[in-house]
Amino acid sequence: MTTFQEKLANSVSQNDSLVCVGLDPIAERLPTGISRDANGIFEFNQAIIEATADLACCYKPNFPFYGALGAKGFDALQRTIAAVPDRVPVILDCKVGDIESTAERWAHMAFDELGADAIVVNPYMGTDAIAPFLTYGDRGIFVICHTSNPSAADFQRLSVEGEPLYEHVVRKTLEWNGDHDNCGIVVGATQVGSMARLRELAPDLPFLVPGIGSQGGDLQSAVGDGLRTDGAGLLVNASRSISFASSEADFAQAARQATIELRGQINAVRRTSVGV
């Protein structure tokens, strides 16, 4: 049985990449020649995947962009995940976190029905809301820690026993990972002030890093501060800047070029920082 961590490490190595391609399709924005419905979303995603599968370390479809279209959207999501080559992992971004019985159903949906390799979870309700995901030892769990949105400070930076709340989150994630060895955290690229501190606290955990591109994250600082000593440990997510690099028929080629450029920028920092 290949674990998520093994699959991810193999993909990072084979594609020489820390680029996570976000698949957040908006029907109304689909390019020229693509039907603006669930079938069009799958066609669009499939073309993006085919154009970037040798460049990305993983893919991250965002559940609401599919669920908003009902049953047809769910089908498009299922087909999208199936279209990703088996060697490249898929992280389902749905930021779930509910009581244990509900979490069990989410885990079944994500892992057994959709076939995702990992999932993004919200830790606010504590261990019993996370436990059902942890029991899937071959899958990955990314715990929301310090995000890139403007209102992250409302709760995440509150001082609790002399430390910001997000530090307590990473410490708890380390406990969960100690028992199951399948956890990572979500750290926004806009949170460059905390990236190095979180890497200090969690030297081995993988970090899922949204916020590059349209959200204005500082790529060089985020990568330089967040890398592990082995030059990996980061999944730098880019969604709109890749998927919507062009609104014309050349969208797949434009997505490929945008991925090549981002991978090159990340790898330049990797080589400067740790010599990889």
Its CATH class, for the domain covering 4-274, is: alpha beta
Q: Is the pLDDT of residue 215 over 70?
A: no
214 vs 17 pLDDT, higher one: 17
Contact 97, 125 (CB under 8 A): yes
Catalytic annotation on 95?
Answer: yes
Which pair of tokens denotes residue 131?
Answer: 């436990």
Question: How many separate helices (H) and strands (E) can be counted in the chain?
Answer: 11, 10
Q: Is the pLDDT of residue 217 over 80?
A: no
274 vs 149 pLDDT, higher one: 149
Smallest Cα–Cα separation from 20: which of 56, 61, 65? 56
Q: Which amino acid is at 166?
A: Y
Q: What confidence tens digit (pLDDT) does each residue in 38-67 have?
A: 999 999 999 999 999 999 999 999 999 999
Contact 145, 186 (CB under 8 A): yes
Backbone CA torsion sign across 211, 89, 110, 27 = positive
What pLDDT sits at residue 189? 86
Which uninterrupted H or E stretch holds 272? helix 251-274
Q: What confidence tens digit (pLDDT) does each residue in 105-124 have?
A: 999 999 999 999 999 999 99
Region 243-257: mean pLDDT is 96
What pLDDT sits at residue 213? 60
Task: Quickly state the pLDDT bin for 218 (edges 50, 70, 90).
Answer: confident
Alpha carbon distance 205, 249 (integer Å)? 39
Q: What confidence tens digit (pLDDT) does each residue in 124-181 have?
A: 999 999 999 999 999 999 999 999 888 988 999 999 999 999 999 999 999 999 989 9
Q: Which residue has the tokens 């020229």?
A: 32
Beta pairing partners, 186: 144, 208
In the set 7, 60, 72, 95, the catalytic residue is 95
Q: What confidence tens digit (pLDDT) does each residue in 59-83 have?
A: 999 999 999 999 999 999 999 999 9
Q: Is the pTM of this model over 0.85?
A: yes
Q: Which amino acid is at 207?
A: F
Quote the percentage of the chain above a pLDDT of 70: 98
What pLDDT sits at residue 214? 53
